[in-house]
Structure 1
Amino acid sequence: MLTKPAADLSPVLPAAAFTWTRPASWPPALLALLSAGLLWLGWPVHPAPLALLLLVGWVPYLYLEDMLVRRGASGWKVFRYSYLTLVLWNAFTTWWVSYSTLAGGITAVVLNALLMCLPTMAFYHTKRLAGPRLGYVSLPIYWIAFEQLHLHWDFTWPWLTLGNGFATANQWVQWYEYTGFLGGSVWIWVTNLLVFRLISNYQVVINNSADAKTPRPQFLITNYQLLIATLVAILLPIGLSTLIGSRYREQGTPAEVLVIQPNFDPFTEKFEGGDKFIPYEEQLRRMFQLTEQNLTPQTRLVLWPETSLEENNWEATFNSSPKAVQIQGFLARHPGLELVTGATTLTTYPSKETASQSARFRDDIGYYDFFNTAVHFPGPATPATFYHKSRLVPGVEGVPHWLSAFVIDLGGAAGGLGSQAERTVFRTTTDSALRVAPVICYESVYGDFVADYVTGGATLIGIITNDGWWSDSPGHQQHLQYATLRAIETRRDVARSANTGISAYINQKGEITQQTGWWVPAAARGTVHLNTGITFYVRYGELIGRGAQGLAVLLLAFVLVRGLNRRFAS
């Protein structure tokens, strides 16, 4: 209960408040630009403190939508400005995709922004048919349901999942071990909605103060409550994360690992046909040299990057191939050492009925598949084992069968590659505690996907990648930073080997403990800890995403019934 006289409340409102220009009177395009700009500034790889802007980045958009509705704008106009906001954010944040191909970069930005309009327009119609209260509650539900969908369908592109935005400020989200990165999406939407409501109520006080000598006390009480709720929503997760991080200690037995960064330019040197193509034998020689120069007797595992063994490696005869024989000979000279490398491999199918959907056909071969593969060499005498990359880059590696005729090359090896349904964990023979999750490139963006390796027994996340397609841009830096979130979600150390990019070690708190330079041949040796514990997130998966999808279906059904009732009633 407010006991002060109303006259004593006037100092609460500064004089500047009475002349403040309301955001609702700003041009819609300016509000769209402001929202996109704030989200971009808060995104990796900008300095960690700027991640706070994500907690208010959607506020201009919320004003934009509310202003258009109050002006009686059509749904089509709301869609246009929503799309403008989203396409600007996509362009500001992922423009670097155009380094691979300009057409591919434009397509990724344009189409992903269009898909992001699904939850924003569902929010608009829910608010219109069911009222503002349910409308604003529905917005984070629809958005997170969409993010969950974006993790699993043919056009998957979760790069801009909101929870990824705290990758450079991961000290604030140590609780991802319970929620996963979708917990960060919830945090962002809750704070944005509270800030929007707080500022909206502040405007109500200003508007009333113009008609009366003193503002109405009840508005100020509402503001105090909202202010407290907003501060709690911002500070409580940070404080909880700080507490968790301060108490957490690396778990598991230590092991020495070596990551190799050979640094072949993917446009000119790495692949046959490039202007400065380096013969595959020479590429292999460089990787052997970097490995030999940095080994110690304690090294138990070496990681070579994605597609280190390029050419066509048939899996049926792989162990007798010249490159495999060279690697086995190298391991024979270093007892106790094992190696994981990227490769391009192929396998055949006996008939059309047994072939996969991604299989190709040639008269001289029959049905066969290409794979982006991780290969494990357990030693000089044990046959190599394979894992096939299964989260494929849309338009580059993973192409829906019905869309294969319309593929847009986004960089890399265009066409539909094969994949596998289950995760494979490489179990070393010399150290039973060292069990490697062979995460290939783009797969490291998926929290639940990486968690599946840990469910399968992985004690170390080994990322092999080639980030040189996007040159010296935020792309390879964002990719590295996202891996820190996977470390927190699973509480697993990460060893990362990049052909061109940044090779690194990340501890179980998401701290980058060692990293190489960009675009230089390098090797990095580090000690990792092999944790066997299972986090809440690994054990139960994307509870937030699945829950949001269930609620979204119920909300859409309710809104549809409400809309039909209105139509029949009229």
Structure 2
Amino acid sequence: MRSLALPRGDWPLILAGALLWTLAYPPFHLLVPSFLCLVPAVWLLLVGQRDDRPLRRHLVQGWWFGVVGNGLLLYWAIGTLWRLTTFAILGWVAMVVLMALFTTVVFGVSGWLAQRSGQSLVVVFPVLWTAAEWMMAHAGDLRFPWLGLGTSLTGFPTIVQIADVIGARGVTLILAAANVALAMAWCRRRDRMAAARYVGAVVLGVLLAWSYGTVREHSLVLEPVAEVAVLQPNATWDDKRDVAMQDRIVVRTRNLAARAMSEAEPDLVVWPETAVPGYLRRHRQWRESIAGLARSTRTPQLVGSRDGDGASRASFNAAFLFDSLGRHDADPVYRKRRLVPITERVPFVPREVLGAFDHRGFSAGDDAPLYEIGGARFGVLICYEAIFEDLARAYRRQGAEFIVNITNDAWFGRTSAPHQHMAHLVMRAIENRMSVARAANSGVSGFVDPLGRSHSWTELFETAVVHGEVSAVSDVSFYARTGDWVGTSAVGFSVLLVGYAMWRRS
């Protein structure tokens, strides 16, 4: 453990960074901590440069900054993942360790570049941090891009409107640069002119982002395309696992759907993830009940349930669309494509092996069907697929006008996780200029418009029906057309920075 030891003076900075990091995200979602949460990281790097072994010091600093920060931010996983699988504790450890490995690399490479090649932390650190976020989203079976730095600003949509050009990763880059600039301003506070330049640059950046956002909020034309009702049945975790209760759950949710159509005339009713416990195709009574409701009211029902492939014995987390004629097979079934590591699929381990531990998990779907109701087209994202920007963007490029996100966050309990989960949808809405309708079994359910403004949100653990109007924007955003160009550029630039430093040393 000596290799992971740090001087006592580093720990206050690590703890301060973890606290600010937590305050920047839901449920606190404060503005100022977003601009300060990486300031302690920069100070750690500057302090570490005076060590006899600076590279080792920076690596250990990055490790503990990531472990403590992510451990605190993801505290909810400790008490909730155990409900899903006996492998749950591994899920929490894997999340924290994986994210800490990325911060370790960022600290180590940033410190090395700054000290050995004289490159400024103002340039190096934001680029490497952004590149690390990109890599987190592309880590194969272990990818987990939960709460990128840019997502911390989704509580203030006006500032984040620039995401329709630069995406979430672009917001991360700018925000990380602001953090470094403020850290340098404090370090050089005796040189008032230098400190003023750093602070002035941050203030100017905020004003420009705010001005752009204000213009977009007043100039973007939103056209209503559909009325949607989302259901929040609030079925408990234990009830869903109790076979004797499953019929009651389906009946109760169907009655909630009937209530939604008696209150208004929605074009679509959305049931949450696994609203129908078990396999829908194997329960004729459930299918006929939902089909009869859709047919009698001429209102399509999007229903979350499991789906299976008899030939391969594969199991899928899926969504079925019952059209206005009550048909559930007229449109392709959507099968979740991005599975939660450990809880839905154990990485790198065949399902057959996991069967011996009663944890076969799910298989990943391949297709992304686009559905249409009343002339409006939409795509489906199940649960944590909302944190992947490429999935929402692909729907927009196919012509989707809004996204439906179905989820079951009941296992999170009354923690910050449901609110953290929802924050990603604000970013997806702004990036692609699409509305979002969200149905969560136990909350939070509601709507986000193409400007990232949330409305009609429910409380946690209440039974509710929420009606909302989803709007569309005629123009496809620059981000939707070009993709995550900031993230890929950050990766490429990071490689160039390292290559240049190595060339100079040789």
- Give the TM-score normalised by the residue count of structure 2: 0.90
Deviation at residue 416 of structure 1 after TM alignment: 4.4
Deviation at residue 313 of structure 1 after TM alignment: 4.3
- 1:81 aligned to 61, 74, 77, which one? 61
Paired amino acid for 1:94: L
Q: 1:465: which partner in 2?
A: 407
State yes or no: 1:147 paired with 2:133.
yes
For 2:228, what is the secondary structure of its paired residue? strand
- 2:444 aligned to 491, 498, 502, which one? 502
Q: 2:300: which partner in 1?
A: 338
Paired amino acid for 1:264: A
- 2:177 aligned to 179, 190, 201, which one? 190
1:108–1:222: structure 2 CA closer, same or farther, 3 Å change rule? closer
Q: 1:14: which partner in 2?
A: none
Q: 2:239: which partner in 1?
A: 269
Q: 1:240: which partner in 2?
A: 212
- 1:289 aligned to 255, 268, 283, which one? 255
Deviation at residue 399 of structure 1 after TM alignment: 3.4
* Cα distance in 2, alignment partners of residues 562 and 278 from structure 1: 70
Q: 1:168: which partner in 2?
A: 155
* Cα distance in 1, alignment partners of residues 503 and 345 from structure 2: 38
Deviation at residue 110 of structure 1 after TM alignment: 3.2
1:74–1:307: structure 2 CA closer, same or farther, 3 Å change rule? same
Deviation at residue 155 of structure 1 after TM alignment: 1.0
* Cα distance in 1, alignment partners of residues 441 and 392 from structure 2: 21
Deviation at residue 323 of structure 1 after TM alignment: 2.0
Q: How do 1:38-57 and structure 2 match up within 5 A?
A: 38-47=20-29, 50-57=30-37
* Cα distance in 2, alignment partners of residues 533 and 141 from structure 1: 30
Paired amino acid for 1:325: E
- Give the TM-score normalised by the residue count of structure 1: 0.80
State yes or no: 1:256 paired with 2:227.
yes
Q: 1:230: which partner in 2?
A: 202
For 1:255, what is the secondary structure of its paired residue? strand
Q: Between Structure 1 and Structure 2, whose CA radius of gyration is higher?
A: 1
Q: 1:450: which partner in 2?
A: 392
Q: How do 1:363-382 and structure 2 match up within 5 A?
A: 367-380=312-325, 382=327
1:497–1:226: structure 2 CA closer, same or farther, 3 Å change rule? closer
For 2:379, what is the secondary structure of its paired residue? strand
1:532–1:201: structure 2 CA closer, same or farther, 3 Å change rule? same
Identity %: 25
State yes or no: 1:386 paired with 2:352.
no
Q: 1:343-382, CA deviations, whole angstroms, 9 ceiling, x for partnerless residues?
A: 1101144xxxxxxxxxxxxxxxxx2311111111113354
Asked if structure 2 preserves the Cα contact closer than 8 Å seen for 1:44 and 1:166, the reply is no
Paired amino acid for 1:257: V
Q: 1:232-285, CA deviations, whole angstroms, 9 ceiling, x for partnerless residues?
A: 133322232233223334x2234221111111112x11123xxxx652211110
Equivalent residues, number: 486
For 2:142, what is the secondary structure of its paired residue? coil
* Cα distance in 2, alignment partners of residues 283 and 88 from structure 1: 40
* Cα distance in 1, alignment partners of residues 436 and 480 from structure 2: 16
Deviation at residue 513 of structure 1 after TM alignment: 1.6
Deviation at residue 220 of structure 1 after TM alignment: 4.0
Deviation at residue 33 of structure 1 after TM alignment: 1.1
Q: 1:87-145, CA deviations, whole angstroms, 9 ceiling, x for partnerless residues?
A: 12112211111222272334422332223322222212222331243x54222222211
Paired amino acid for 2:81: S
Deviation at residue 470 of structure 1 after TM alignment: 0.8
1:377–1:405: structure 2 CA closer, same or farther, 3 Å change rule? closer
Asked if structure 2 preserves the Cα contact closer than 8 Å seen for 1:191 and 1:234, the reply is no
Asked if structure 2 preserves the Cα contact closer than 8 Å seen for 1:395 and 1:415, the reply is no
Asked if structure 2 preserves the Cα contact closer than 8 Å seen for 1:177 and 1:489, the reply is yes
Q: 1:322: which partner in 2?
A: 285
Paired amino acid for 2:301: L
5+ long unaligned stretches in structure 2: 1-6, 83-87
State yes or no: 1:541 paired with 2:483.
yes
State yes or no: 1:64 paired with 2:30.
no
State yes or no: 1:137 paired with 2:107.
no
- 1:435 aligned to 357, 373, 377, which one? 377
TM-align CA RMSD: 2.4
5+ long unaligned stretches in structure 1: 1-24, 206-218, 350-366, 408-412, 566-570
Quick check: 377-386 or 51-60, which moved more?
Answer: 377-386
